[in-house]
Chains A and B, each alone.
Chain A
Amino acid sequence: MDFFNDPNIALIWPELLLAVSAMVLLMIGAYGGERTNRPIAALSVAILLVAAGLVWIGPDEGLAFNNALVVDSFARLMKVLVLLGSAAGIFMSAAYSRAQHFDRFEYPILIMLAALGMMLMISANDLIALYLGLELQALTLYVVAAINRDSLRSTEAGLKYFVLGALSSGMLLYGASLIYGFTGHTNFEGIALAMADERTLGLVFGIVFMLAGIAFKISAVPFHMWTPDVYEGAPTAVTAFFSAAPKVAAMAMLIRVVYGAFEPATLEWQQILAFVSVASMGLGAFAAIGQTNIKRLMAYSSIGHMGFALVGVIAGTEAGVSGVITYLIIYLFTVLGTFAIILAMRRKDGAYEDITELSSIAKTNPMIALLMTAFMFSLAGIPPLAGFWAKWFVFLPAIQVELYWLAVIGVLASVVSAVYYLRIIKIMWFDEGEEGFVPMAAELRLVVGIAGLFVILYVLIAGPIATLAGNAARSFF
């Protein structure tokens, strides 16, 4: 048995790298004590980036472990995004975690393990593999939400997330068991084959329950209740991580499930997802208007954005999937940039989360104010910024398949949601300033700079990204 030449192992080198290095780093941290905190954080960022590189150049594609895992161009692109998002999550939290006293060596290691779980979710081609990957990621996120255990709000966020997450896992498992019972397969290809023959009522129930479980993970209405509380309660650095990589992974998993396993039942899942999408867009647009805490506002904003992304999934065409992928790439960069600025909202006496506190920023740091304006315009979908193209690429496929009503509702929700994005811009530039914030940490500057360049100059790189997304979407058609 040659381990290094095994065709199964050849496909999971990046995953193996993450798992083994997480264990090694844990040993270093456990024996090295507090002085290893910083080197471990730096090393884990480096390892995540190396893993992203491995995924990117890895020429191997195919099925592994009796079809339990699939590696295709879609999985590879999504894994690179998730790894970049996780690396940025650790990188951005460096100064914040020190200031809030949760800079423990376990934190970057847990995020590495979460990234591993997300990679397994993305590659899952089997109900068991999907559940195991999902649970690995979710369990890690519960712990990370409560990582600042001296803070009552952080532990409350962790507990809420855990209880509701366990409920959603239960629903997903119930659906998975029904699907297995009515098709006799756990493998996605097998399920699709069995579904093509016959779709009984029980199978539709299974689909509904599975989609409910997944909708919880992407925080789509009506399974969004945990999002604002967890976003607000968790430490801001953790919220920044939550809003980026796990959303991408869960959306990728949804695409794999509906286009892989449930492909013959397209009419059934389209109805469910259309409701979820419209409800998410609506709630994201209206509920965020009254928010004063910027983390809660971003939570509602993310609910709305998941609704927009779902429009592309519902379209059910290659252009639609490629649109969702583009949407996720743009969303990841914009949200990381925005949270880097939110993380920098600190004065000497602590961190601030109220949106009125941003009023000083235009005078004290006009460059950051300018970039924040770009991020807000992009989230609102104003051309020529990246966010406009994101929405363009998901609404256009919907119109092509004559889902006019969905596109119209989407555009209307987008207009309403512009209210609160514009309000932040108004507070920054036109309101009387308060005391300035302390200078931004170097790592946050770097993230804001990269994200800002991406958002503003998106038109220049739109071509290559569209090619990438198109290649990835072809995995399903």
Chain B
Amino acid sequence: MAAAGLFFYLFATVAVASAFMVIASRNPVHSVLFLILTFFNAAGLFMLMGAEFLALILIVVYVGAVAVLFLFVVMMLDVDFAELRSGFLQYLPIGALIGLVLLVELVLVLGANTFAVDASTVAVQPIPDLAEVSNIRAIGDVLYTKYIFFFQVAGLILFVAMIGAIVLTLSRRPGVKRQNISEQVARDPKDVKLISVKPGEGI
């Protein structure tokens, strides 16, 4: 059990530290890499809780898809992060103040009270014993039965997100050159003209 405790503190410390580095590092690519480190450590925490399905999903979805997409976006867009960051220090005092107030509130709340200790017993569908049922099965048991309504509405929200992204970004501009594969394939080699371009001059 001591090893589990040790690993908990290891994962938790690295997760918090790398989450801080996400907002503190100067290079946006480093931020994304630290974000990936945070995800890995969060996955480690899930693993310690015996939720290996959620841990692997976190790695596959967040590291494999979302973070890689972030990396692409960061590298594709030419955003001047130094300029974005210029007002950062100016807002730091008020941000720190709000953060401090929230922290004090949290400490007050958690220090003076305990969470409902019997929450797992009064819950309508408590988490089953993980020694008997694997956690992937425990999720599967409720996701499409008890929580089917929530699942479907979440699907509708994603549907709206998809429509929204298309409505706000897709534009059909005339005069845009598109790749036409059949035209390319049908091209006669005799028509092809080779032009040697001098460096620095263009055509």
Contact = CB atoms under 8 A, between A and B. Distances in A.
13 contacts: A66-B124, A68-B150, A113-B163, A136-B153, A139-B157, A139-B164, A140-B164, A149-B168, A182-B113, A182-B116, A184-B122, A201-B108, A205-B105
Residue of A66, A110, A116 ringed by the most chain B CB atoms within 10 A:
A66
Interface of B: 105, 108-110, 112-113, 115-116, 118-120, 122-124, 146, 148-150, 153-154, 156-157, 159-161, 163-164, 166-168
A8 B149 CA distance: 10
A351 to B, nearest CB: 22
A68 B149 contact: yes
Contacts of B124: 66, 187, 190
The SS class assigned to the B binding surface is helix
Nearest to A146: B168
A142 interface: yes
Given A136-B156, A136-B157, A185-B122, A202 B109 contact: yes
A132 B116 contact: no
Nearest to B171: A149
Interface string A119-158: 0100000001100110110011011001101000000001
A109 interface: yes
Nearest to A65: B149
Contacts of B112: 200-202
A205 to B, nearest CB: 5
Nearest to A116: B156
A113 B148 CA distance: 19
Nearest to B105: A205
Contacts of B119: 180-181, 183-184
A128 B167 contact: no
In the A-B complex, the 5 residue pairs with the closest CB atoms: A184-B119, A143-B164, A184-B116, A202-B109, A65-B149
Interface string A45-77: 000000000000000000011101100000000
A143 B149 contact: no
A299 interface: no
Nearest to A109: B163
A20 to B, nearest CB: 11
A104 interface: yes
A240 interface: no
Contacts of A106: 163, 166-167
Nearest to B115: A181
Chain A, interface size: which category?
Answer: 35 or more
B153 A133 contact: yes
A281 interface: no
Given A69-B149, A201-B112, A143 B122 contact: no
Residue of A128, A132, A187 ringed by the most chain B CB atoms within 10 A:
A132
Contacts of A143: 160, 163-164, 167-168
Interface string A297-337: 00000000000000000000000000000000000000000
A136 B153 CA distance: 8
A158 B112 CA distance: 41
Contacts of B154: 132
Given A109-B163, A110-B163, A182-B115, 13 more contacts: A66-B146, A106-B163, A106-B167, A116-B156, A128-B150, A129-B153, A135-B157, A143-B160, A184-B116, A184-B118, A190-B122, A202-B113, A202-B115
Contact of A132 (B108, B120, B146, B150): B150
Contacts of B146: 66
A178 B119 CA distance: 13
A26 interface: yes
Contacts of A200: 112-113
Contacts of A109: 163
A64 B123 CA distance: 18
Nearest to B166: A106
A194 interface: yes
A19 interface: yes
A65 B149 CA distance: 7
A101 to B, nearest CB: 12
Contacts of A201: 108-109, 112-113
A158 B165 CA distance: 13
B153 A120 contact: yes
Interface string A20-55: 000100100000000000000000000000000000
B76 to A, nearest CB: 20
A146 B166 CA distance: 12
A202 B148 contact: no
A237 to B, nearest CB: 15
Contacts of B110: 202
Contact of A129 (B123, B150, B156): B150
B28 to A, nearest CB: 20
Nearest to A203: B113
Contacts of A178: 109
A142 B163 contact: no
Contacts of B120: 184
B163 A19 contact: no
Nearest to B108: A201
Contacts of A202: 109-110, 112-113, 115
Contacts of A120: 153
B168 A26 contact: no
Contacts of A68: 149-150
Residue of B105, B115, B156, B168 ringed by the most chain A CB atoms within 10 A:
B156
Contacts of B148: 65
Contacts of B156: 19, 113, 116, 136
Residue of B118, B122, B146, B166 ringed by the most chain A CB atoms within 10 A:
B122
Contacts of B105: 205
Contacts of A139: 157, 160-161, 164
Contact of A183 (B109, B116, B166): B116
B29 to A, nearest CB: 24
A205 B167 contact: no
Contacts of A142: 164
A19 B108 CA distance: 44
Residue of A19, A136, A200, A202 ringed by the most chain B CB atoms within 10 A:
A202
A136 B162 CA distance: 12
